[in-house]
Amino acid sequence: MSQISARTKPMPTPASSPVHATADPTQDRPYIWVNGELVPKSKAMVSVYDHGLLYGDGVFEGIRVYNGKIFKCGQHMDRLYRCAESLFLDIPVSREEMIDIQRQCIRANGITDGYIRLVVTRGVGTLGLNPYMCPEAGVICIADTITLYKPEMYEKGMRVVLANRPKTPIECLDPRVKSLNYLNNIMAKCEAIHLGRKLGIEKAEDQLLEVIMLNIHGEITEGSGDNIFIVKDGKAYTPPTDVGILEGITRRFVKDTLCPACGVPVEEKAFGLDELLGADEVFLTGSAAEMIAVREILRHDNLNLTSTHTITDGEGPITNALRSKFRQIVTSDDIPED
């Protein structure tokens, strides 16, 4: 597909977009913004020469939509453009245009409560590694729904696996850059999924779908797609960014808004496995996962289960208070878009 810049081509409205029904209507939705055009899902394609596909060269954002509003849109845009700049990637649309693209996709798909995936790729180039052979970056926006975990997991808490694969060191690839290269996280997540299969776990609430990753110094960092908090003696702690984590938008919301609102002291602090296992409560945060408690942590050696450690019997009281406050805010008429 040729690259079409929203700067040089007027952005179409949903009514005038080149959207054509297919024989199977289920293949139409969602309508997706791809390089200046809003097209049905069945026609949303990028070139096989796009360096986002060939090399994982690009950045992305996962963003929640609540009550038709883009939750923390401003912070997501800050991170998207900051991450792109760190990769020397010039996004071919302005911040204001990018926000308008998201709103167009929300309207076109009738999204009230959902999820936006913004992707900026290096664009179409050659088979060589040189990113400067890609004349213009590609822009993709998907507005759809997402469900990571079953409701039972939110009610009872998750079982997670301590990953043997360490987090990529900051000096090699800074996790604060939300790039298209998620292989480190994926390989860690595979440990949980494969362990669950080997153990023959069938109940939805017992599935092993997430991990906790340590850095090469043995410090707790984050999950494969979520930040982590522990609670001890009524106080919440979350690892600082310099241990090697993504600066999560939901993590910041918990730290800066929910904890103060619920009277829960919170601190950024590096901690190891002993403090994790000794916590009164553990919970994970992320745009897709929102907030979810961890009830049990499993350890393994080459997919041979070595130990299990129970944190809580279900969702702990502080986690419940914070998550209840979160739900109260995101189901209100005053969704923060800052």
CB-CB neighbours of 289 under 10 Å: 23
pLDDT at res. 26: 63
Q: Is 144 left (phi over 0), alpha (psi -120 to 50) or beta?
A: beta
Residue 259: closest CA among 305, 310, 322, 303: 322
Residue 279 CA neighbour count, 13 Å, CB half: 29
Cβ(248)–Cβ(286) below 8 Å: yes
34 vs 166: CA distance, rounded Å: 35
Cα–Cα distance measured from residue 318 to residue 316, given in angstroms and rounded to the nearest whole number? 6
Matching residue, tokens 């038709």:
68
Q: Which residues contact 81 (CB under 8 A, 6 or more apart)?
A: 91, 95
Q: Residue 292: is it exposed, middle or buried by C-beta count within 10 angstroms (0-12/13-18/19+)? A: buried
Q: Do domains 25-144 and 151-330 have the same CATH topology?
A: no
What class is the 25-144 domain? Answer: alpha beta
Would you say 173 and 148 are in contact if contact means Cβ atoms under 8 Å apart? no
Structure-token match 């609430």, residue found: 205
Instruction: Write down the pLDDT at residue 184.
Output: 98
Q: Is 283 helix (H, G, I), strand (E, B) or coil?
A: strand
One pLDDT digit (tens) per residue for the chain, 338 residues: 333 333 434 444 443 444 444 456 567 889 999 999 999 999 999 999 999 999 999 999 999 999 999 999 999 999 999 999 999 999 999 999 999 999 999 999 999 999 999 999 999 999 999 999 999 999 999 999 999 999 999 999 999 999 999 999 999 999 999 999 999 999 999 999 999 999 999 999 999 999 999 999 999 999 999 999 999 999 999 999 999 999 999 999 999 999 999 999 999 999 999 999 999 999 999 999 999 999 999 999 999 999 999 999 999 999 999 999 999 999 999 999 99
Q: What is the pTM of this model?
A: 0.92
Q: Is 323 helix (H, G, I), strand (E, B) or coil?
A: helix
What pLDDT score was predicted for residue 27? 73
Cis peptide before 30 (omega within 30 of 0): yes
Cβ distance 265 to 258 under 8 Å?
no
Pick the CATH number of 151-330 from 3.20.10.10, 3.40.50.300, 3.30.750.24, 3.50.50.60: 3.20.10.10
Spell out the residues 6+ positions from residue 213 whose beta carbon is closer than 8 angstroms to its own.
163, 165, 166, 167, 185, 188, 220, 221, 222, 223, 224
For residue 327, what pLDDT is reported?
97
Instruction: For the chain, give every domain's residue range.
Output: 25-144, 151-330
Return the DSSP state at 131: G
